Structure formats: C-alpha cells, structure tokens
Structure 1
Amino acid sequence: MTATAPAIELKGISKAFGPVQANKDISIRVMPGTIHGIIGENGAGKSTLMSILYGFYKADKGEIFIAGKKANITDSQTAIAAGIGMVFQHFKLVENFTVLENIVLGAEDSGLLRPSLARARRELQALASEYELNVDPDAVIEEVGVGMQQRVEILKALYRQADILILDEPTGVLTPAEADHLFRILENLRREGKTIILITHKLREIMEITDTVSVMRRGEMTATVKTSDTSPAELAELMVGRKVLLRVDKSPPVIGRKILEVRNLNVTDSKGVHRVKDVSFDVHAGEILGIAGVAGNGQSELLEVLGGYEKATGTILMNGAEIDLTGAQSDGQSRRANGIAHGLCCTNPIMRGFTV
C-alpha cells in the first residue's frame, strides 16, 4: 500500500431492490489508518453500501478499489481474503460454541479441529493483549454478555488478518461503559494502522471517535468532511436535509388519570427463558413513559405483550378493564379495540413504542 492510496475507494456504486434505490451513484474514499464514520437516518443506505463492500450484496454498477487496486468482491470470503472484516449489528455467532470455537469456525487449518484450536488460543491471547480485547476463550457464547460477544466478533476479523474493519451500529447493543470500552479498542486498532469504518446514526459517537465522516441521505452521499471541521448541528442538517433542533424545550406535563396498569408481569419464551420478571408500572393520560435497555433485556417482549402479540402471566388493566394475556387473541385487534397501538420505531430493538 502506498502512502497516498486510499485503503478503500468506492466509485459510482448503485444498488436497487426492486423499485427501491438503496444506493445511488455513491463514491467514497477511506484513507488507511483512520476511523471513517458513515452516518444517516435509518434506511439511508449505510448498511447496504458496506454489505456490498463485504460481499453480501453485489452492486448493480460501480467499482471497488482496495489499496489502490481494483477488486472484484463476489462474496464475504473474497472480502476476507482482501483484508476486510465486518462486525454486524446482529452478531453472527454460534451460541452453544465457545469463544475459541467461534473464532476458529470457518478458518480451520485442516480437517482436524484440535491443532486449529491450539494455534487460535495462542493467537487469541496475543490479540487480546495487543488490542485490549480481553475475552475468556473457553466461555460459551450464550452465557456471556453482548459486550464480550462483540469483542469476539472483532477478534474473529483480526484472526482472519483483517486490515479494514467495518462496524455496523456497534453501540446499539452496548451499555455506555461498554461503548467507552469499544472506543478504546478502536483507538488501539487505529494506532496499529488498522482502517475502521463506523456505521452509526449517533452524532456523539461520530464527534468523539472519527477522523472523517460521510453523510448519507435517501441512498445518496451528501457530504464527506473532516470531523474536526464540522459540528453535530451541521451533520444533523446534512442527514435530514433541513435544520434540526438538537434541544427541545418542553413545557411541564399535565398528568391526568391512570390509563394503563401493569402488575407482576412475567414472560417466558419458547425455550423456557424468563424474559420479563415481575414487572409493574402505570401510565397516566398526558404522560410519555420511556422503556429503554440494552437489546435482549426483555423490553421487546414487554411491548409485544402490551401490543397483544405475546402471552404472559400477571395483570394488565386498560381504563380499569382487564386485558387478555393468554394469547388467545394474538393479532393485536383486541388491543386496538381497547385503545392500544403497537409499532416499531426502529430496526434496532433497543427502544420500541406503543401508544394508549
């Protein structure tokens, strides 16, 4: 790689899914040893563009250059061979395998697993020490938290000799402390000369960690700027095409009567895992109640019960009338008849919503 050649250059990339133009004539250059942010609203085409780079999709037209040389990325194996690794928003791990087995899976030295595991254990220790990616190699994936699972995904890419690392909405499943740890890892990777592409819609992360940022809107690239030369307000305007108020002044709420009562709600999934445990709360007229949490902590199941799509035990009262929790009416019609609507606010289920 020459000093001036971009680590990645995309020229005129376009991709349509039927009548939907996901990417339209996109060109972008990412310099080596930098953290390059790609931001945009949900549906702006960020993940599609990076999935083309990683070989998950084939562009309808356009060219890809890696380290100044034209590349024909036909699938993920071709991308990995070109030094590209990708950590998806929803992890691609085998839950009943150990950390070590997941890292080796698909990159075995031969048909014999034992020698591959022995070598991987040695390399894993070196990588973990070098990049602050501490993991327990013998831990089973389904028994560890999402922070460690994400580190396993990064280690998988590094084990496969990735020099370019794409992270798709990496903090969507992390606590603030885990996100800070991730940023330290990314700083370590950058210092070692790795090139990182960070897909996100969170302006704080862009301003904190990136060197350069590209903005996408409705499948098109609207701007690429040095992070130090821009501001959250300017980026927000580029994302949505109009000025955005980043601070909203709210008048004090006028709280009315109690509308929704939830008492001792419990949800157990089809595998026998207790997803919601003894949850109780009230919602009053004129009130917005936020339910937030890291993905997988039961908030999705809770709102599916409220929307009528999941069965549970406990009690829900709407305007004093008890709501069926047995799942006998699971199409949401009965909830709507009682004045409850359920919908998804985003593809990443950290926070979902319903109205009463």
Structure 2
Amino acid sequence: MAQQTASPDDSNGPESLYILGPFMFLGIVFFIVRIYTRLALSYKLNVSDYTNAVAVLAATITFGLFITAIVHGFGHHSFYITPEDSVIIFKCLYVVLTVGLFAAVFARISLACLCLQFTTSTVPKIILRAQIIFQIASLIATAVVTWIQCRPISAFWEAVPGGECFSPPQSWAFTATGIASDLVCAVIPILVISKLSRSLVERCLVCFLMAMSLFATAAGVLKIIYSYRFDRDPSDALRDMMPLFLWCRMEEVLLIIACEAPFLKSSIERVLRRMGLPVFQQKTKDLNSIHTFPDPRGSQGEAVKKDKGMKIDERKLEACEYTTSEDSTQSDESDGNSTRQQHGEVTDSSQSQPMSTPMDDV
C-alpha cells in the first residue's frame, strides 16, 4: 500500500488514445470512401459492404466506451480511483469485450467475402467459406463464454457476495483462430491477384492493400503476449489492463482498415492521373493483324508493314477484302472477333474488348 501511495497520480490512458485515435479516424474515412466507391461504380452494395458496416459500428461503440472508461480513471493507479468510478470502468470494459467480438469477427467475414470476389479456384473458395462459418461459430461460442464467466454477471464490475469469475481458456483459442484467419485473407488474394492480366504496379499495390490484415495479425500477437502477462488479481489491475485493451482495439481497427484499403485503388488512380502519371490498365498482347481498305488493289502495298517480315500472298490478301454482308459479321461475332465496318478493318480476337475482372470494382 505504501508503494501505491508513493506512485504518482498519472495515467497511461491518454497515450493509448493518441495511438488508437488516428487509426480509428482513418478507418471511418476509408469506410466512407469504400461506400462512395461502391455506389459510384456498381450502384449497389454486397455482403462484404454490409458486414463491414456492422464492424465499423461495433468498433465505434467500443471506441466511445473506451474513452468513457479512460475519463473515469481507466489507466490510473487503482489507489487513486474511487469505488464508484471503478464500477463504471468495469461496466464499460465488459460491454467493450462483448461488442469488440462483433467488430473483429464481422471485419474478418467482410474481408473473406471480399476475397471470394477475386477467387475463381475451388480450393480457396472452400477455405474462405469454411472460414466464414468458423468465424460465426467462434463468435457465438466466445460471446456465450463471456456472458457466463462471471456468476452473477454483476460480479465482473463489483464485489458480490458469493460471486465468482473464471478466466476462460476459449479467449486464447479465439485469438489464435483470428490470427490464422488474418493470414488466410492476406495470402489468398496475393496468389490470385498475381496471376491477373494487370500492370505490375497495380498488382503490387492491390496485393499490399489486401495484405494489410497482416498488421492486424501483428496486433493479435501482441494481444496474446499481454494476455499472458496480465493478471486481474493485483490491486493495480486498472493500469495493467490498459496495454491489453489497447491492442485488442488496435486489432479490430486494423482489420477494418484492411477491409477498406483495397477500395482506395480508384482514388489513387485518380491522383496519379491528375499528376500526369500513367494510370492502371490491363496488359494487352499485340498480335499481327491484316488491314484492308475498300479498294484492295490500292492497299496491297500498305498492308501490314510492321508484322516482323511477314509475307502474304497477293491472292490471300485479296481474299481478306472488306465485306459488309450480315453473315460474315455474325460469323465474326460468334468467333469473338471485333469487326470495324466503318473502316473495313478485320482484327484478331485478342484485340477485342478485355473481360472485366473483380479488380475493376475495387
């Protein structure tokens, strides 16, 4: 007790807010950018957007309660906190623990749903869908354990005659499965995006944005470390708990940012365009093509001069003369070729419009 009395009446709560606040602000701004981008490009929202909205709402609630707890003394030495403030703090932290589960789980579900849009292979789809189901099951199990770990529930925030609380081992399992889920959502998009027909800069940028869940993985590791060190029995628990709660909130916010970061690609592309830098586009492969004109006799000497020394027989060249018949046009369309009737140009199927990819919606 003498050691506690000699301790200065300071708090590590404001420092935690200085760290968490900017990330929370970025998460909300990126969420607004994501919704605006989705509505501007596709005029509709999907499951990934709705689950992300739930995660942002839950994270906002936990952030507000986190501030309330700090205002009432969370982060101070327990010696300087009144019993009334202590009850308020533990009530806030109890709600933060419960609502924070929804923020983390729905952010992971949103990220998995977003990865499903990029994935065409069967095995990654099975893994992602199984991960979504497992996250829902873990949310239900962990929430139930959180609600029953203290009997009665009020024993969590105040001394109750006959009340008792136990430390559930399921919290370790929840954190471990969350880290594994973050790794899956970071690796699978990289494997898929690296094979798309896009420029190297664009693929690297999107891979980096999609892999931001690795930062949440690092926060989860720190959360495990502080969970191992923390013991709720010491009298200075309200100060010792601060690093643990900080990294729990950081993990949730970083997961939300990871869900929204890929949608910054369009904004980055607009900035590059305004700066006069090359914009992102699909890679195209130039193939040889034969260009003819309405007068084939006058175009023989001008046809395909850049085709690597390609020699075309005169009779074969005349056979490529422009035709306006509907049968020929329908045949070209069925083969996937694009026919430019205004200029009499016949091109290879590789020069037709490229297929849109899920990255176009990001």
Q: TM-score, normalised by structure 1?
A: 0.22
- Please state which structure has a larger fraction of its residues in strand: 1
Higher-Rg structure is 2
- Please state which structure has a larger fraction of its residues in helix: 2
